[in-house]
Amino acid sequence: MSPAERDAMPAYIQSRNSSSSLLSTPPSSPVRTIGEWEELQGFTITWTSYQSMLKEIVRYAKLETRVYIVCSNPATVISYLASNNIDTVNVTCLQLPFNSVWSRDYGPWSAYTNEVDTLLTIDWIYNRPRPLDDALPALIAAQLNTPFYETTTSPWDLIHTGGNFMTDGFGTGFSSKLILDENPSKTEAQIDTIMSRFMGINRYIKMDKLPYDVIHHIDMHMKLLDEETILFGEYPAGVADGPQIEANLLYVLNNYNSVFGTPYKIVRIPMPPDNGQYPNTNGDYFTYTNSSFINKTIIVPTYNIPQDTTALRIYRDELPGYNVVGINSTASIGALGALHCITKELGTSDPLLISHQPLPDTYDDVNPYFVNAFMKHRSGISNATMYYRTDTLLPYVAVSMTSLSSQIDHWGANIPAHPVGTIIYYYVEAESNSGKQQVRPISAPAGYWEFEVLGPTGLGEDLTTFELQSVFPNPSKGITCIPLISNEKQKINIKLFDILGKHVETIFDGFAAVGENRYFLNTQNVPSGLYFIEVYSALGSKREKLVVR
């Protein structure tokens, strides 16, 4: 905030607290706030600063969904877009008053009653005294014709900002402890209650603020890619916000599992320097986590530096089938924001919700592989299909899924057993009683999940192209770090076995980056004893002993 805004903030908060909105109490039905990777009916930006970036957002977003452009002069916007070879198909200009470009921070939140029923628009008190920005969610809700709820009236009043909030779409939320600082008159329990009643956040994870990210927004250093995968920014050891990011990562892994009850999968992405300078030496806060999903596209900030290529490759590896688009964000990053900060998603009015925990690599070449997916639509699910193949050049094989009597809203099907060495690619599809169809991943059939049927590792010459370093702490009871140095980008699988050779847990299944990698295992609930950590690649494996206290 500017000094004038700091002076204006107390009076502004008082005015917002006295709002007479009829919908400033929580919804009467349970609600679920969407994950950003879910289906969208729209995408919003505000047309003011950084037009070189905004036009590129429009260029790609309009291919996926309707783009709503809040602006003061639609004719000027349309003319500017046309001069850059961007038409207005799937574009709606909303001539509305505004204060700033930061749509993420003041924009509306999409949520549903009873998981998939009525689409609601939720709004907080914006943490800046910018009344025109703060009024936009209500105006967008009117445009979409959705019920509107706002946290403005005591005891439900809450100050918050969108860049400091993410959710897995199933009731877990993440923020920095800025949320506590901005609501000093409320206890943490009271804040949790407001987030639960208005947004369905029943598990609210709050991490320590970073010393050099002066706005303390988590989207500057982390990104949820799905229900169990978190992309975390990574600085060189000991640099800038690196130590606090690592501490926050350990805190999450040590205390929380994903909605599937298993440890979060962590993917690392560089936090690059600005002309050799990091934020602790006055460099701009270059970040690749400040990206935005737009249905089957994800836009990623780039900075015209060599590390851009690495960042885009990481996104493509983690999100097969997505259109991964880099957009130069050097114009805005000096103001501590990139693409996520200036965009906001609008959920579909007719969601068909699908969730599935991808199958891990397996050593089983005898029994079929069971695919279990949660599928829900307000009209009910009429049928579901699982598709699999063993080569990306082959057509998919369709297998009908069956409604599972043991699990409400779950459907299942088997992939037949395959021989050692097979890589299996698969996705699921559902159709509702009303005729709505949806796939997951949303990028299918170009996108997919995959797993490999592994075999025993032979003894003899070491052909591996990675070095497994000593795990620590060892003995362990809690978070254990598994350092690995890879000579090339390669697929690896890390597993924990007990002393009898029984598979206890898959720690990581994905690609190791060139250079130093760190993986984490939480042994808090692992029985005491001697274990082995094995790392597998296509060329062999390596093993480390681990003692659990």
DSSP 121-168: EEE-EESSS-HHHHHHHHHHHHHHT--EEE--STTS--EE-GGG-EE-
Lowest average pLDDT, out of 16-25, 270-279, 430-439, 444-453, goes to 16-25
Whether 107 and 59 share a structural domain: yes
Residue 423 covered by a domain: yes
pLDDT at 459: 45
Whether 200 and 66 share a structural domain: yes
CATH code for the domain in which residue 228 is found: 3.75.10.10
Domain stops at, among 452, 480, 511 = 452
Residue 527 covered by a domain: yes
Residue 91, pLDDT above cutoff 70: yes
Residue 458 covered by a domain: no
Residues spanned by the domain of 70: 3-347
Whether 159 and 285 share a structural domain: yes
Residues 140-163 have a mean pLDDT of 96
DSSP state of 325: E
Number of domains, the chain: 3
Cα within 13 Å of Cα(216), Cβ side: 17
Residue 459 covered by a domain: no
Residues 314-342 have a mean pLDDT of 97
pLDDT at 18: 58
Whether 83 and 201 share a structural domain: yes
Whether 36 and 132 share a structural domain: yes
Residue 461 covered by a domain: no
pLDDT at 177: 98
Contacts of 419 by beta carbon, 8 Å cutoff, 6+ apart: 365, 453
Domain stops at, among 430, 452, 474 = 452
Whether 124 and 159 share a structural domain: yes
Lowest average pLDDT, out of 298-302, 474-478, 480-484, 490-494, goes to 474-478
Of all residues in the chain, what percent carry a pLDDT higher than 70?
A: 98
Residue 531 covered by a domain: yes
pLDDT at 19: 53
* Three-state secondary-structure class, residue 534: strand
Domain stops at, among 300, 319, 347 = 347
Residue 510, pLDDT above cutoff 90: no
Whether 143 and 256 share a structural domain: yes
Whether 447 and 482 share a structural domain: no
CATH code for the domain in which residue 380 is found: 2.60.40.10
pLDDT at 374: 98
Whether 380 and 474 share a structural domain: no
Residues 245-262 have a mean pLDDT of 91
Confidence band, pLDDT 50/70/90 cuts, at residue 458: very low
Residues 362-387 have a mean pLDDT of 96
Whether 506 and 444 share a structural domain: no
Report how far residue 470's alpha carbon sits from residue 483's, in angstroms, rounded to the nearest whole number: 7
Whether 91 and 220 share a structural domain: yes
Amino acid at position 392, single letter: T
Residue 147 covered by a domain: yes
Residues 199-217 pLDDT 10s: 999 999 999 999 999 999 9
Q: What is the average pLDDT value for the chain, to the nearest integer?
A: 94
CATH code for the domain in which residue 530 is found: 2.60.40.1930
Report how far residue 118's alpha carbon sits from residue 124's, in angstroms, rounded to the nearest whole number: 19
Residue 88, pLDDT above cutoff 50: yes
DSSP 15-45: HHHT---TT-S--SS-EEEPPTTS-EEEEEE
pTM of the model: 0.86
Confidence band, pLDDT 50/70/90 cuts, at residue 449: very high
Residue 460 covered by a domain: no
Whether 195 and 297 share a structural domain: yes
Q: Which two tokens stand for residue 518?
A: 């760190």
pLDDT at 482: 93
Residues 184-210 have a mean pLDDT of 98
Residues 191-206 have a mean pLDDT of 98
Edge-first strand order for the sheet with 503-512 is 503-512, 490-498, 529-537, 540-548
